[in-house]
């Protein structure tokens, strides 16, 4: 279970509104809303079905009805193609969607083949390939459940009989009684429809218990006592392996409970709670009895395969039926509902008790997976998160303040990770394995080339540009272009959706044999040019020799950051900044690989090695600040 948490500081405290930033962000907000409007206009024009659908099919409902599920079975594709052809002629699918619901293609049930069981057994003994061919047998029946958006139960189902042609028949649940109750192996009956729909409810919505409202249906299922309530509970399906393999028939085992209520006045003048007479016996002297048992109901798929020439043929017999004769029974706590929340008071109290005993009871432990990732230089994320700019960088910032145009609030300040307002903290790592560098290029030289030419590794459509910081008479280009460590303290302006500035706060080179490592860091900044950066934190770019594979190197981009203030938190609801940043780093990752390979080197990317985690800051702060170990973090969170 995932939850979003804002600490008291997040809820009650807000930074001072920077007027210049505020009005500038109003423009950003307008850009956001314009982008959202453009997105929806674009989405409304996008087709979700293949181009072979006839041009007239433009209804969203029709497109949704015909949308292929993931990894569709060939039989499902065949049925959908048949529906497309019929829709092009008769335009009926929108009405079906409105009246009966949309298909749950992923739950479509292959009902088997209409051949004798004896022949199936013979084929099974002769060749195991028979099983493989069942799905393409010319007499296959497929049943597809239909569900209205407003319901949590199956409303109707579509039957498709597949042979040389595709025959289709719509069975509406509300018409179940019109099919009659005459039993027969080759007849659709009210009983078979009810059981099929309840079986679908059990599979799709995990509904186990049903109240049988229609007395005739209840009797056909096994009710024996008049004027009683009849409930059924799904227990299991048949364990008959032969039937299961060939799908020749379906067997549903259920338990039933019959509840009967009656008064028990033994004489006209006596009732234990009404001694003067029995006028109120039904109220005071009611006796309830229950009878329970179990039965299994089996039917062959052929009962669903007759008389299916089209949606208008194979119509039900006349008479009876004015709605579903059964209803799902869901767990309720009627006497224990909190009027404010609509949840069970008992469950709320149970939850409060658990949280009082362990504040981290609801933590999603998956959010901290891989936070202990290492790169041969210790755990990555605590090293980057806890980094503080050295005095040389602080002095450089003071020097810039004396030269550059400044503003009282955003006066060249490093944005601290601990002072940010985002409830979640982003921890990411994007590696590229370099098996061979281009000839004549050292790891140190490659990283420096990357730093000075980072824009060459960003695709134009990403719309992000890194430039040395320039504002008014101040231009940091010369300092940025200093080589290696001499560039420490240079400012960089990043032109993006909401531009921001960073400073090179760290640059390290180590050429130790078998442990070569080079990296530099960006730290986010408040500046008069860009005001606040959207996030606060540090990002490291580096390359190191793989200690386990001599001669191979890992180039990487890794960062730890949080949304800076309340305005950016609000903006992130409409524009997922972390996701957009992921796109940038993944784009650079791919272009680094392309650059290496184009230069006759050899590089590869394994997307499974990428790490993108966003745990709650309050949960992992101590670990990322280096105050506790990863094992202590897991113990603290109960993971």
Q: Model confidence over 283-335: pLDDT tens digits?
A: 445 555 556 665 555 544 444 443 333 454 333 433 334 578 888 877 654 45
C-alpha separations of 442 from 39, 209, 445, 523, 609 in Å = 45, 70, 5, 26, 24
Q: Which residues contact 495 (CB under 8 A, 6 or more apart)?
A: 464, 465, 466, 467
pLDDT digits (tens, 9 = 90+) for 86-121: 998 888 899 899 988 999 998 888 765 433 333 433
Q: Per DSSP, what are the bridge partners of residue 429?
A: 558, 611
Instruction: Please report how many Cα atoms fall inside a 13 Å half-sphere around the Cα of residue 90, on the Cβ side.
Output: 12
Q: Enumerate domains of the chain plus CATH numbers.
A: 100-331 (no CATH), 380-637 (3.30.530)
The answer to whether the beta carbons of residues 554 and 393 sit under 8 Å apart is: no
Please determine, for residue 589, whether its predicted confidence score (pLDDT) is greater than 90: yes
Q: How much is the mean pLDDT over the chain? A: 75
Q: Tell me the pTM.
A: 0.50
Question: Would you state the pLDDT for residue 101?
Answer: 92
The answer to whether the beta carbons of residues 180 and 317 sit under 8 Å apart is: yes
Residue 210 tokens read as 């049903």
Cα distance between residue 149 and residue 332, in whole Å: 22
- For the chain, give the percent of residues with pLDDT over 90: 36
Helix (H) or strand (E) holding 596: helix 577-598
Number of residues assigned to the chain: 639
Q: Which residues contact 381 (CB under 8 A, 6 or more apart)?
A: 371, 373, 427, 429, 558, 560, 624
Q: Per DSSP, what are the bridge partners of residue 322?
A: none
Residue/partner pairs of 4-10 with CB below 8 Å, 24 or more apart: 4/423, 4/424, 5/423, 5/616, 5/618, 6/423, 7/423, 7/618, 9/421, 10/421, 10/423
Residue 558 tokens read as 């890794």
Question: Which DSSP letter does residue 344 get?
Answer: B
Cα distance between residue 635 and residue 107, in whole Å: 41
Cα distance between residue 147 and residue 167, in whole Å: 21
Please determine, for residue 208, whether its predicted confidence score (pLDDT) is greater than 80: no
Cα distance between residue 454 and residue 595, in whole Å: 12
Q: b vs e for 107-135, b when ≥16 Cβ sit within 10 Å of the residue's Cβ?
A: ebbbbbbbeeeeebeebeeeeeebeeebe
Alpha helices in 71-189 (DSSP H): 74-90, 93-99, 117-126, 129-133
pLDDT digits (tens, 9 = 90+) for 393-420: 999 999 999 888 767 677 899 999 999 9
List % helix, strand, coil for the chain (3-state, nearest 5): 40, 25, 35
pLDDT digits (tens, 9 = 90+) for 416-469: 999 998 888 999 999 999 999 999 999 999 999 999 999 999 999 999 999 999
Q: Please name which of 133, 155, 11 lies closest in space to residue 75, comparing C-alpha atoms.
A: 133
Which of the pair, 340 or 57, is modelled with greater confidence? Answer: 340
Helix (H) or strand (E) holding 288: strand 286-300
Cα distance between residue 571 and residue 558, in whole Å: 24
Which of the pair, 285 or 624, is modelled with greater confidence? Answer: 624
Confidence of residue 525 (pLDDT cuts 50, 70, 90): very high
Residue 575 tokens read as 């524009």
C-alpha separations of 319 from 170, 182, 215 in Å = 18, 14, 16
Residue 335 tokens read as 């006497």
Question: Would you state the pLDDT for residue 177?
Answer: 84
Cα distance between residue 57 and residue 67, in whole Å: 12
Judge residue 614's burial from the number of C-beta atoms within 10 Å of its C-beta, 0-12 exposed, 13-18 middle, 19 or more buried.
middle
Please determine, for residue 380, whether its predicted confidence score (pLDDT) is greater than 60: yes
Question: Which DSSP letter does residue 537 get?
Answer: E
Which of the pair, 376 or 126, is modelled with greater confidence? Answer: 376
Q: Beta strand pairing status for 286-300 and 326-328?
A: unpaired
Cα distance between residue 473 and residue 479, in whole Å: 15
| Count of beta carbons in the 10 Å neighbourhood of residue 489 | 23
Question: Would you state the pLDDT for residue 597?
Answer: 96
Q: Which residues contact 474 (CB under 8 A, 6 or more apart)?
A: 400, 403, 404, 405
Please determine, for residue 228, whether its predicted confidence score (pLDDT) is greater than 70: no
**pLDDT-wise least confident of 58-67, 148-157, 273-282:** 273-282
What's the rounded mean pLDDT across residues 531-554? Answer: 93
Cα distance between residue 345 and residue 333, in whole Å: 9
Cα distance between residue 144 and residue 356, in whole Å: 47
Which of the pair, 48 or 508, is modelled with greater confidence? Answer: 508
pLDDT digits (tens, 9 = 90+) for 168-206: 888 888 888 888 877 654 467 888 888 888 888 888 888
C-alpha separations of 236 from 214, 240, 251 in Å = 24, 12, 9
Angle, helices 630-637/617-624, rounded to nearest 10 degrees: 160
Q: Please name which of 108, 32, 121, 114 lies closest in space to residue 75, comparing C-alpha atoms.
A: 108
Cα distance between residue 156 and residue 144, in whole Å: 9
Cα distance between residue 299 and residue 248, in whole Å: 9
Cα distance between residue 230 and residue 232, in whole Å: 7
Place of tokens 């007479």: 277
Confidence of residue 344 (pLDDT cuts 50, 70, 90): low
Cα distance between residue 506 and residue 269, in whole Å: 98
Question: Would you state the pLDDT for residue 391?
Answer: 96
């Amino acid at each position: 279970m995932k939850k979003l948490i804002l600490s008291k500081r997040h809820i009650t405290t807000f930074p001072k509104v920077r007027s210049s930033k505020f009005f500038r962000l109003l423009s950003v907000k307008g850009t956001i809303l314009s982008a959202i409007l453009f997105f929806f206009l674009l989405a409304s024009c996008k087709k979700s079905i293949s181009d072979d659908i006839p041009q007239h099919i433009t209804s969203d409902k029709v497109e949704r009805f015909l949308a292929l599920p993931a990894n569709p079975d060939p039989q499902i594709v065949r049925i959908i193609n048949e529906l497309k052809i019929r829709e092009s002629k008769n335009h009926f699918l929108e009405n079906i969607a409105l009246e009966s619901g949309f298909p749950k293609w992923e739950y479509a049930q292959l009902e088997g083949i209409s051949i004798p069981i004896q022949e199936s057994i013979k084929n099974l003994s002769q060749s195991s390939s028979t099983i493989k061919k069942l799905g393409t047998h010319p007499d296959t029946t497929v049943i597809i459940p239909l569900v209205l958006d407003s319901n949590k139960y199956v409303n109707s189902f579509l039957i498709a009989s597949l042979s040389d042609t595709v025959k289709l028949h719509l069975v509406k649940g509300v018409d179940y009684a019109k099919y009659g109750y005459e039993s027969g192996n080759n007849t659709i009956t009210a009983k078979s429809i009810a059981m099929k729909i309840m079986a679908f409810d059990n599979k799709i919505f995990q509904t186990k218990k049903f109240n049988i409202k229609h007395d005739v249906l209840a009797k056909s299922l096994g009710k024996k006592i008049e004027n009683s309530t009849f409930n059924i509970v799904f227990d299991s399906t048949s364990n008959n392996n032969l039937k299961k393999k060939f799908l020749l028939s379906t067997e549903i085992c259920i338990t039933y409970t019959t509840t009967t209520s009656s008064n028990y006045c033994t004489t006209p003048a006596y009732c234990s709670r009404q001694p003067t007479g029995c006028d109120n016996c039904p109220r005071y002297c009611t006796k309830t009895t229950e009878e329970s048992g179990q039965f299994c109901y089996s039917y062959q798929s052929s009962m669903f395969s007759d008389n299916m020439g089209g949606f208008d043929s194979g119509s039900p017999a006349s008479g009876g039926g004015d709605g579903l004769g059964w209803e799902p029974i869901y767990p309720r706590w009627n006497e224990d509902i909190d009027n404010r929340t609509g949840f069970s008071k008992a469950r709320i109290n149970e939850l409060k008790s658990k949280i009082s005993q362990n504040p981290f009871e609801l933590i999603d432990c998956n959010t901290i997976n891989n936070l202990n990732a290492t790169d041969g230089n210790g755990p990555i994320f605590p090293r980057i998160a806890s980094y503080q700019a050295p005095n040389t960088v602080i002095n450089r910032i003071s020097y810039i303040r004396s030269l550059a145009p400044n503003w009282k609030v955003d006066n060249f300040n490093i944005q601290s990770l601990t002072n940010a307002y985002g409830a979640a903290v982003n921890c990411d790592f994007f590696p590229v394995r370099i098996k061979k560098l281009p000839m004549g290029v050292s790891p140190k030289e490659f990283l420096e080339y990357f730093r000075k030419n980072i824009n060459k590794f960003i695709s134009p459509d990403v719309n992000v540009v890194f430039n040395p910081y320039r504002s008014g008479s101040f231009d940091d280009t010369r300092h940025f272009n200093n080589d290696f460590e001499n560039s420490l303290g240079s400012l960089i302006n990043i032109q993006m959706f909401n531009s921001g500035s960073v400073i090179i706060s760290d640059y390290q080179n180590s050429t130790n044999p078998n442990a070569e490592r080079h990296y530099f860091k960006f730290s986010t900044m408040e500046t008069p040019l860009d005001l606040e950066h959207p996030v606060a934190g540090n990002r490291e770019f580096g390359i190191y020799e793989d200690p386990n594979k001599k001669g191979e190197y890992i180039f990487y981009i890794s960062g730890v950051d949080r949304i800076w203030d309340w305005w950016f938190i609000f903006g992130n609801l409409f524009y997922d900044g972390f996701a957009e940043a992921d796109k940038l780093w993944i784009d650079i990752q791919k272009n680094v690989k392309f650059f290496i390979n184009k230069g006759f080197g050899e590089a590869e990317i394994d997307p499974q090695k990428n790490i993108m985690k966003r745990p709650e800051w309050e949960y992992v702060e101590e670990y990322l600040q280096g105050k506790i170990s990863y094992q202590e973090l897991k113990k603290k969170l109960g993971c």
